[in-house]
Structure 1
């Protein structure tokens, strides 16, 4: 097994350093040999592309995804998730076989918003570069603010206060906003602010989100790869024009919504892997998100 870095000779595999942020992992089967490519960006150029196998093996993998079930929360105007049994049992030929059919909205449960969702002519889900969905992560804890005000809008000042204590948000980071609302999942009333469904429910939504100016600041000043949140929308529940969506998606910054277990993450020093279904023409889709937390944390 080899580690290969762009523009460098193959290096013996030593897998994940706590100080290295691997951006993209691709597995290629070649004649029975699994070659693992790690595109380490600046680390390659600086010659710091060695990875510690032990550190990788001791890293924690944290699932930031809600399971898709009958009570999965979807946008109030969308249909609920359904897993429809097609067959389960012995076949006439004597072997066991089981199969289901999925019925679901693109924007329900833990999912991704592709740029086309709020940007005319934007990238569809299959066109979002995989590099946008894998990278170094930071967790912005605003649980206290959101506990006091369920309509809280995360501001530029929140990010600057975070940086004053923890250092600058890295360029090209994946920013995860922890409002604490994941603890309410899957109870609709505390999570969304209403039990209503249908168009009339939209004006009754009350949950935190990201201020449009803060979203634009992340894009302009920190060149973020993606932004995620543990609520039903990156815009707060009372939004009318969804300007935060527009600020991010118009700049090809995908959005991850309905994340779970962000409280298990450190504030920084971890990596994020967020891989959706590759749906041609999709405006979004179900997303499996994991964080890789090195043993130092």
Structure 2
């Protein structure tokens, strides 16, 4: 079986605070030109995407420097719920390295936050502690999430894109112990482990599946949107 686990790329879609807005608009039309083309403007971390080490590691590997087979993952689904807004995911919420099959190279965390896509609440997703990221590093596995990323996302005034839903626009305040910067990114990308962000459609997936997340071949880029597809028997 196959399931598309990626967000549609569309004008006004949610983006990480401060990232470029996404627009997808007609360029040529059948009526005026006899054919159709479109113009896409996007950041490299829009929608469902993969991070390259270059994203947070100075001098790190770029997305086009990674062999294409490294974007076909043997994934294990992890469900640490229930989780509250901006709650830290500690190491004990993840499998022990000794409990992982040798072929697992990606833990896909189902936080439940995909249900908040398009609202300010999506910024308040749970996040990995640096210690949890270190457990992943020790196991040699990357991370996929149904959220902006493995680190906490800053609060920001205004909308995330143009699709914020009225009535769910208040963002929770950061907790006192919430870390600054990108410690989970730094641990994972510093060891060239993959990060796949803004996944969706995780409900109903089996514990073990194959996840394909092939990036665009962007020269020297720090990440790329992907079409993330889960496959299982």
What TM-score, normalized by structure 1, do the two folds share? 0.66
Answer yes or no: is 1:211 the counterpart of 2:129: yes
Query: 2:133·2:187 contact (CA, 8 Å) conserved in 1?
Result: yes
Task: Could you list the structure 1 runs, at least 4 aligned residues long, displaced by more than 3 angstroms after superposition.
Answer: none
Instruction: State the partner residue of 2:88.
Output: 153
Instruction: State the partner residue of 1:249.
Output: 189
The correspondence for 1:169, drawn from 77, 96, 100, is 100
| C-alpha distance in 2 between matches for 1:87 and 1:264 | 40
Deviations 1:161-214 (A, max 9, x none): 8x8xxx922234211111000111122x2211xxxxxxxxxxxxx221111111
Alignment of 1:260-275 (within 5 A): 260-268=200-208, 270-275=209-214
The correspondence for 2:152, drawn from 236, 244, 247, is 236
Alignment gaps of 5+ in structure 2: 154-177
Instruction: State the partner residue of 2:167.
Output: none
| Structure 1 or 2: more helix by fraction | 1
| Structure 1 or 2: more strand by fraction | 1
Query: 1:125·1:280 contact (CA, 8 Å) conserved in 2?
Result: yes
Query: 1:116·1:123 contact (CA, 8 Å) conserved in 2?
Result: yes
How far the C-alpha of 1:129 sits from its partner, in A, is 2.4
* Number of equivalences: 208
Alignment gaps of 5+ in structure 1: 1-59, 193-205
The correspondence for 2:140, drawn from 202, 207, 223, is 223
What TM-score, normalized by structure 2, do the two folds share? 0.83
How far the C-alpha of 1:90 sits from its partner, in A, is 4.6
How far the C-alpha of 1:241 sits from its partner, in A, is 1.8
Closer, same or farther: CA 241–253 of 1 in aligned 2, 3 Å: same
Answer yes or no: is 1:133 the counterpart of 2:68: no
Answer yes or no: is 1:107 the counterpart of 2:24: no
How far the C-alpha of 1:91 sits from its partner, in A, is 6.3
Q: Give 3-state SS (helix, strand or coil) of 1:121's partner.
A: coil
Q: Give 3-state SS (helix, strand or coil) of 1:262's partner.
A: coil
